[in-house]
Amino acid sequence: MVYRESEETVDVLFLSRLQFALTIMFHYLFPPLTIGLGIILVYLKWKHIRTDEAIYDAAARFWTKIFGLNFALGVVTGIVMEFEFGTNWAVYSRFVGDVFGSALAAEGIFAFFLESGFLSLLLFGWDRVGKWTHFFATLMVAIGGIFSSVWITVANSWQQTPAGHVIRDHVINGHTFQRAEIVDFWAVVFNPSSVQRLIHVWIGAFILGAFFVMSISAWYLLHKKHVEFAKRSFTGALMLATVSSLAQLVSGHFQADTVAEHQPAKLAAMEGVYHSTNGAESYIFGWPDDETETVKYSLGIPGGLSMLISGDPDSHVMGLNDLEETWGRPPVWLTFQAFHLMVGIGMLFILTTLYASFLHWRGTLFETRWLLWYFVFAVVLAFIANEVGWVSAEVGRQPWIVYPTIVDGEPVGGLRTSEALSEVVRASQVLTSIIFFGMIYSLLFVLWIMLLHQKIKQGPDWPPSGTEEKEESVLRRKESLA
């Protein structure tokens, strides 16, 4: 394997990692949102067919417009990363080409074509095809988004817990390169972390979609616009958000078990465990300090981490000092803070959705204005939770871009991030492309906000034209009598 040793390597490595992080984090604003909205669209179309209530049809039409906007931006922003694999990460691309080629080909055949093929029917088929045909198109688009997440997550999970492959040497232009080649396709698909990670990603997408719908609905309710539509949308999304938030707590537990078994250094970084100990704490918050190897200003649950991963509050947990020689040491501060921010937001979501469900049951939810204002802005937290979840997972697996298999206590077959760079790319080139991408993505972000604002301002066609003024008049009369 060719490994470039030069003064520029560190800069190229840092800039290439920064570029990939910025582009994928911007891209990751959209796929989870479209997956979550896709499920909601299927629900609305199904409710319209079952009840024949026009309000569900109006709701489906409105959220379909929002879905289409986010889908388009998700496709556009995802293309860039495929070029980055070839330009900045050529050695990595050679190493994982066989595995990623299968996963990405499956994603293209089974997911993207399915999703894209029925998208035009979903967006433009209203009043042109039968209601069952349109429902089928909606279902196929939603399933296509889920299938897409399956193959992308499988590819990512294989990097974290590789399986079903062998490492073979190949000679190209006189240089020897290593390549991971599939020997068991289904072992690659069902590698040790793929199922747990996939469930975690799906639930995160459902939460984001639900909070997105609740945000816009709450804004309508606070401004007394499209009231009946907003109440129906908010109620359905609240049910999805409540169930998903509770399910994410269970999923997170099983995810932690998998990380503890297969990526102990990542777990130690997530929880700030520098020294091996019995009865390890689970920190609620803190400030890891690499110099003193302590977590300052912390509040922890004694024995909480040991209990979480083994069921025994006195069980032994390995620290980074003992794991570093075999696994390397991930950046602790960023991994710790990203992980705890994700968990903190998740716990906040459980509390607030349960409280909102209680108020809904009592019939006072839509009169509790401070809670509606919370839900207007809580969608930002849902975006942040999805983003920092990705950060903790990816930063926590450093210094490996593909984790090794441990044989007799020694790492075998992995690929370090520093060894995965292209051999010819220069720091100045990467920096220039970051500036270029930054400008383009800033424009796309502004465009996204403007178009979103325009569609929200237009609102759904509900109540039907000419009746909204009547509805608002009735509401004002009720308020004056109260």
What does the pLDDT look like over 12-54, one tens digit per residue? 889 999 999 999 999 989 999 999 999 999 998 998 898 888 8
Backbone angles phi, psi at 414, to 5 degrees: -85, 180
Residue 218 contacts by C-beta under 8 Å, 6 or more apart in sequence? 230, 234, 372, 373, 375, 376
Residues making up the chain, counted from first to last? 482
pTM value is 0.88
Task: Find residue 278's DSSP bridge partners.
Answer: 316
What DSSP string runs through 300-368?
A: EETTHHHHHHHS-TT-EE--HHHHHHHH----HHHHHHHHHHHHHHHHHHHHHHHHHHHHHHHT-GGG-
| Conformational region of residue 224, where left means phi above 0, alpha means psi within -120 to 50, and beta covers everything else | left
Helix (H) or strand (E) holding 155: helix 131-160
What does the pLDDT look like over 78-135, one tens digit per residue? 878 778 888 888 888 888 888 887 777 777 777 777 777 788 888 888 888 888 899 9
Provide the pLDDT for residue 2. Answer: 44
Q: In this structure, which amino acid lies at residue 424?
A: V
What does the pLDDT look like over 214-246, one tens digit per residue? 999 999 999 988 888 899 899 989 999 999 999
Is 90 exceeded by the pLDDT of residue 10?
no
- From the list 71, 75, 101, the residue with the least C-alpha distance to 86 is 101
Q: Which residue is listed with tokens 């590819």?
A: 155
CA 436 to chain centre: 25
Is 60 exceeded by the pLDDT of residue 173?
yes
